[in-house]
Every structure is written in C-alpha cells, then in structure tokens.
Amino acid sequence: MSDNSNSFVRHEMLSERAPPIGERGVLKWARENLFSSVFNTIMTIASVWVIYSIAVGAAPWFFNGVWNAKTTRECYEILDGVNGACFAVLQERFPQLIYGFKYPSTEYWRPNLATILLLVALAPVLFRRLPKGLLGFSVIYPFLAYWLIWGGTILIPTVAFVGCCIGVACYRKFSSGAFVTAIILGLFSAYLCWFLGGYLISWNNDFLSLKEVPSRDMGGFMLNLLLGTIAVSLSIPLGITLALGRQSNMPIIKWICVVFIEFIRGVPLITLLFVANVILAFFFPPETSIDLILRVIIMMTFFNSAYIAEVVRGGLAALPSGQYEAANSLGLDYSQSMRFIILPQALKISIPGIVNVSVGMLKDTTLVSIISMFDLVGMIRGPILSSTDWNGVYWELFGAAAAIFFVVCFTVSKYSQWLERQLETGKH
Amino acid sequence: MTDKLKLEVSDEIAIQIQSMNKWFGSFHVLRDIDLTVNRGERIVVCGPSGSGKSTLIRCVNALEEHQTGQIIVDGTELTSDIKNIDRIRSEVGMCFQHFNLFPHLSILENCTLAPIWVRKIPKKEAEETAMHFLEKVKIPEQADKYPGQLSGGQQQRVAIARSLCMRPRIMLFDEPTSALDPEMIKEVLDTMIELAEDGMTMICVTHEMGFARQVANRVIFMDEGQIVEQNEPEQFFNNPQSDRTKLFLSQILGH
C-alpha cells in the first residue's frame, strides 16, 4: 500500500528558467528558417550566392555613377570606359520629372506647398488620435489645392466652397423631412450660389490671383500624384455607395449599380482613358471644353470605384447576419445601422482589398502617358529620352521612376497594415 | 428545485397575435398562431428544432415578416410601415443565441449607441443608464473592454444590458443559453430571473426546463409551426396532455 508508484506530490514549485542557447534569439531563428533541412540549407546557400552576385555586379555601376554632366556623351567621357551609371540625367532633368516641362519654374513652390498641405490634410483622416478640429482643414484643402496648383483668382475656389457649404446646410435643414426634396433643395441652393458667384468672379477677375497654369501644362510625378490622390479619394465614397446600392431592395437602384459595376469592370482602363481623351468630347456641346485632366479623373474614379464596390461588397457579405439583426432589433434605422454598425466592420475587413486596388490605381495613372499626357513615365519616354542630350539612358530613368512609385506605394501599404492592427479589438 | 416565483400579471395586453401565418417560400413555417401575452407575463416557448419557435418571436419585432393575420404589440399593429416597425423595435428588446454584440465597439458603446441615436438621450445620461444596467448584470468593471475580450456568459449579460438600456417594455429571448458552456448558463439565467422579478414581460425560447418551472407562468410547446400545448408549468411538466408533448418531454428530461 505505502509504495504505490502512481502517487506523487510536489513539495516545491519549479522556478522559471531561460531556454537553452540554441532555442532563443538569432540562433533559433536561423536554425528554424534557414537551415531546418538539407534542402533548405542548400537553398539558403544558393540564395545568398545569388544575392551576392547581383550586389557585386550592380555595385560598381551604382557607385561609379556620374552625377554631374550635361549630356550622355559627357557622362561616357567622365566614365572613360568604366562601367557606371549616368545619374546626371536625374539631376539635370529633375524639375521635368517632378513637374513636367511646361509648369512655370517660378511657380514650383505652389505644387510643393500643396503637397505638404496634403500631408497635413490627410493626417486627421488617417490618424484618428489627432484632434477632430484638424478635419476642418481637410475639408478646405481640396479648394485650396486647386487654387495653388491651377492658380487664377481665389474667388473661384471660394465660391465653389461656399456653394458646397450652403448646399450641405440646406440638405441638413430639410433632411428630417423627405430625403429627395432635401437633396434637390441642397443641389439647387448650391447651384444658385455658384451662379451668382460666377458674376462676382467675372466682375473681379484679379482678386488675390496666382498666375494661371492650364491643365495641359501639368506633368511629371506631380500629375501622377494629382490624378491618383483625387481618383482614389473620390472613388472610396463612390465605391461604398455602389456596394450599398448593389445590396438595395429597390430594383432600379440595384440594377443601376450592378450594370455600372459590371460594365466598368469589364472594360480595360486604357479603353476608358481613350474614351475620355477622344470620344467623350463628342458628347459635350461644341463650345464647352471639359478639361482633359477632369475627364481622365472621372474615368479613373469610375474605374476604381467599381473595383472598390466589389471589395466592400465582400466585406459586407463577410459580416454575420446577426449584426444586421441586432442593429435592427435596437430600433436603429437603415442609415444609422450602416453608419455605426455595418460599415465600420465591413470597411475594416475590406482595408487590404481597398488598399490593394488603390495602390494599383496610383500606379495605373502612368497609363495616361499613352493618351499623350506627360506624367512621370510620359516625360521619360517623350521629352527626355528623345532629346539628343540624353539618348539611351533607360536604366537610370526608369529605375528612378520605379523607386519613386515604390516609396509612395510601400508607405501606403505599411500604413494600411498599421491601421488594421489599430482596429483590431477581438484579441485577448 | 428553487421556489416558484409568485409574480403579479396585469390584465393589460402587451402582445396579441391573431391567426398569424408565415411562409418561407412555399414552406409553411407558422400556422394559425393565436397568442395573447399580458403585461408582466413570463412565457417560455419550447419545442423541437425547426418547429418555428424562434421564427415566432422574431415576428414579434418584425425581424421576420408575417404574411397573414395580425400582430399587435403595445397597441400598435405591425404592418410594413417602417415607422411603426422602428417604434416597436425600440419598445421590444431582444437577446440572441449568439449575443450579436458589436465587436468594434466597447461594452459601454454597445450599450449607449441605440439610446443616443434612437432615443436621442444625451451621451452622459446614456452612459449613466448603461452603467446602471451593467451593474445590474454584475459586470460594470468590463465597461471599457471589447466584446471579444469577454466570456460567452459575460457577453450574453452585456447583450441583456444593451437591450435594457433602451428601457423596453417587452423582452424577447431567442435561446439565450444554448451557445454557452454549462458553467456560464447559470449566470445568464440568474440575470433573467432578476429581470422577471422586476416585472418585465418576457417571451423566452429556451430548453432550460428548470428556468421554465421557476419563472414562467405559461409554457408553450410548439411543433411543425403550430402551438401544440400551453399550460402552467406545473401542469405542463407533470401532466402533459398531447402525445407529442409527452414524447418531447421524455426526450429532454430523460437523462
């Protein structure tokens, strides 16, 4: 009885100990990820060798690079037969790469300032911890940026802004009643304001006026950023609306959304851009000339919003129906349950998809080079490479373009990952 | 078995359902339902799965639409009129099998959202009400956490508190304990018993027969979309009349 080998009593609790050296830190990581099997070890060594050869091959080209020269010929003379890059083109043509070749160089400060202010305006939208008061600036920013980039009298954006404010105020005032009446009244009052404002502008055309820069003079990376930012920021609300419309119980709204989404998704972006460039002009009266940039922005917004609508629809479908039921059972109406319950969760699920589509859109802005707009790629392919001075400097120029886009897109992607972590609430 | 609650039932009618029928497509899920619930009544609905008991209480707050017959809640008839539906929903609280808390909002925000936006109560007052009810369900200390950080029983109690914050006159429970671990069922049932003691009108779909005996003043047995038997709990459990009820009771009380 007494020597029952199954019985055991611990009298002293064991204290915590560190794992063995091979089981922690770098050693553990390397063993698990690089040398976990014979095959893995061979692959690791092969990869290191490949990376090493590329680095060794590219390093002289990179480090021998010439930064000061006027032409390709001068570059080769300086290099004197040594393998090296001709980065001088980036320096000499820097303004063209960034602003295009027609934007007046005395006015470069304007797009620069607009870009800095863009970051300020985006900050409260992207980071919820910042004080809500800053959002006021985000609302004003589009109008301010228009004035800075395109110039002209400040009255134009001011009138546009005041018109929008009056329209929204009118809508708010009547929105407790009939929805459609409120929208029509809002639009009408805004239009009235713009109409009257038009007289004010034509009467005082020089009030606080910046030098006017027409749209066809925009170019370089500025154009990419301009198109990308506007198209993405307009297409997110439009995409959400389309996604909700597609779920609507009202057949007409539903079918309008379905047809729009399916049509736009079924057509290549480049086709839409040609439509914007050539065909769209036929549909407007002959004397009106809708700006080419505006037409391109409209097409890009449509294209991106169709994709975002499908991403958001995925997010909406991923929500359990219990969320809709709980919101309904508490007496929340449609717009309240969408705003507070459904969309915050659906959009959180959709973040990776929305960012994916939007980063793609930002890069696709380079397609405008095909409809003879001189964006970053258009500048490289057109004025720079075809000039006699910089004939044949492909690697440096396209490498620089790739680097610029990579920095922007990678930042956006990192932000979205951070945002996803911020919105995570379910973990213990 | 705990003591039977002795509670007053008023003569005022809270819910009146008259020859109500509902179909899912061509499937006749509720057939000629007649049911009158007085204010202060605690009704337990039981029956095999697929018998339409959840659908019945979901019709009461129009989560499901009925096709023929009448449902009158608090004197308002349920029609397809959105205004009526929203009004009734704000008077009728509901707890779900899977809690359906809003995972992106904190516990406190879960409880204050509807009072602030539907009842138009000032935020501070709504928060005080929410804390009052969270204390009532005994989890005020969790107010700033998120639903994902709570146990199932705690989540269900938050769901009850969330409904109570709207100050409903009627509460519906749709199998509130069937997704819970055995240990957590008691804490939720205790909360519901307390609610009954306060005189809340309740319709409860549940298989907790102990709860039915203790709290209910009427037990309804449903099968194939119709009310097969209803009676006081003592009579219902000790002396069931229909064969279907006897079979059902022998199966759930058999072990």
Q: For residue range B33-86, list pLDDT tens digits in order.
A: 999 999 988 999 999 888 899 999 999 988 888 899 999 988 888 887 777 888
Among B89, B101, B149, the residue with its CB nearest the CB of A329 is: B89
Contact A330 B89 (CB under 8 A): yes
pLDDT in the model for residue A278: 79
Nearest-by-CA chain A residue for B89: A331
Q: Would the CB atoms of A325 and B90 count as touching at under 8 Å?
A: no
3-state SS, chain A, equals: CCCCCCCCCCCCCCCCCCCCHHHCHHHHHHHHHCCCCHHHHHHHHHHHHHHHHHHHHHHHHHHCCCCCCCCHHHHHHHHCCCCCCCCHHHHHCHHHHHHCCCCCHHHCHHHHHHHHHHHHHHHHHHCCCCCHHHHHHHHHHHHHHHHHHHCEECHHHHHHHHHHHHHHHHHHHHCCCCHHHHHHHHHHHHHHHHHHHHHHHHHCCCCCEECCCCHHHCCHHHHHHHHHHHHHHHHHHHHHHHHHHHCCCCHHHHHHHHHHHHHHHCCCHHHHHHHHHHHHHHHCCCCCCCCHHHHHHHHHHHHHHHHHHHHHHHHHHHCCHHHHHHHHHCCCCHHHHHHHHHHHHHHHHHHHHHHHHHHHHHHHHHHHHHHCCCEHHHHHHHHHCCCCCCCCCHHHHHHHHHHHHHHHHHHHHHHHHHHHHHCCCCCC
Q: Are A352 and A283 in contact (CB under 8 A)?
A: no
A42 touches chain B (CB under 8 A): no
pLDDT at B3: 59
Q: Which two three-digit tokens encode residue A13?
A: 């609790």
Distance CA B143, CA B163 (A): 15
- Non-local CB neighbours of A272 within 8 Å, separated by 6+ positions: A264, A299, A300, A302, A303
From the CB of residue A215, how many other CB atoms can be counted at a distance below 10 Å? 16
b or e along A247-282 (b: 16 or more beta carbons within 10 Å of the residue's beta carbon)?
A: eeeeeeeeeebeebbeebeeeebeebbebbbeebee
Measured between alpha carbons, how far is B169 from B91 in angstroms, rounded to an integer? 6
pTM given for the model:
0.83
The span from the CA of A423 to the CA of A304, in Å, is: 24
Q: Residue A27: what are its φ and ψ, rounded to 5°?
A: -60, -50
A 359-378 residues inside an 8 A Cβ radius of B: none
Answer whether B117 sits within 8 Å of A426, measured CB to CB: no
Exposed / middle / buried, residue A138 (Cβ in 10 Å: 0-12, 13-18, 19+) = middle
Residue-level pLDDT at B1:
43
Closest alpha carbon within chain A to B87: A331
Give the C-alpha separation, A367 to B52, whole Å. 58
Q: What is the pLDDT of residue B254?
A: 66
The most confident of the ranges A124-133, A141-150, A173-182 is A141-150
Confidence of residue A171 (pLDDT cuts 50, 70, 90): confident
Q: How far is A423 from chain B (nearest CA, A)?
A: 8
User: Chain A partners of B148 at a C-beta cutoff of 8 Å?
Assistant: 425-428
Q: Summarize pLDDT for A179-213 with one digit per residue, the tens.
A: 677 788 888 888 888 888 777 777 777 777 778 88
Percent of chain A with pLDDT over 70: 95
Please give the average per-residue pLDDT across A44-69, as a whole number: 89
How far is A349 from A322, CA to CA, in rounded Å? Answer: 17
- Judge whether residue A35 has pLDDT over 80: yes
* Domains of chain A with bracketed CATH: 21-90 (no CATH), 94-103+217-428 (1.10.3720.10)
Low-confidence stretches of chain B (pLDDT < 70) are 1-7, 254-255
Choice among A125-134, A238-247, A361-370, B185-194 with the minimum mean pLDDT: A125-134
pLDDT of residue A427: 52
pLDDT for residue B44: 93
User: What pLDDT is recorded for position A177?
Assistant: 64
* Min distance B116 CA to chain A CA atoms (Å): 10
Question: Does residue A160 have a pLDDT over 90?
Answer: no
How far apart CA B136 and CA B99 sit, in angstroms, is: 18
Indicate if the pLDDT at residue A85 is higher than 60.
yes
Using alpha carbons, list the distances in angstroms from residue A380 to A7, A98, A103, A183, B89.
Answer: 82, 11, 16, 46, 63
Q: How far is B117 from chain A (nearest CA, A)?
A: 8
pLDDT of the residue at A428: 41
pLDDT: is A360 or A204 the higher one? A360
The set of residues, in sequence order, having a beta carbon less than 8 Å from that of A58 and lying 6+ positions away, is none
Q: Does A326 touch chain B (CB under 8 A)?
A: yes
What's the confidence (pLDDT) of residue A106? 83
What pLDDT digit, counting tens, does each position of A285-338 carry?
766 667 788 888 989 999 999 999 999 999 999 999 999 999 999 988 888 889
A17 interface with B at CB cutoff 8 Å: no
Per the prediction, chain A carries an average pLDDT of 85
Query: Distance between CA atoms of A309 and A316, rounded to whole angstroms?
Result: 10
Question: What totals of helices (H) and strands (E) does chain B contain, helices first?
Answer: 9, 10
With beta carbons less than 8 A apart as the criterion, state whether A354 and A312 touch. Answer: yes
Q: Which of A332, A317, A173 lies closest to A244 in space, CA to CA?
A: A317
ipTM, interface predicted TM-score of the complex: 0.90
Within its chain, how far is the Cα of A163 from the centroid? Answer: 27
Burial of A57 (0-12, 13-18, 19+ CB in 10 A): exposed
B147 DSSP assignment:
G
B42's CB contacts (< 8 A; 6+ apart) are B7, B196, B200, B201, B202, B204, B215, B216, B217, B218
Residue from A110, A273, A296 nearest A216 by CA: A296
- pLDDT average, residue stretch A396-410: 91
Q: Which of B146, B225, B167, B161 is nearest to B194 (CA)?
A: B161
Q: Which residues of A touch B149 (CB under 8 A)?
A: 426-428
Report which of residues A280 and B161 the model is more confident about.
Answer: B161
Q: What is the mean pLDDT of chain B?
A: 88
Higher local confidence (pLDDT), A82 or A48: A48
Contact A326 B166 (CB under 8 A): no
Q: Residue A49: its pLDDT value, please? A: 95
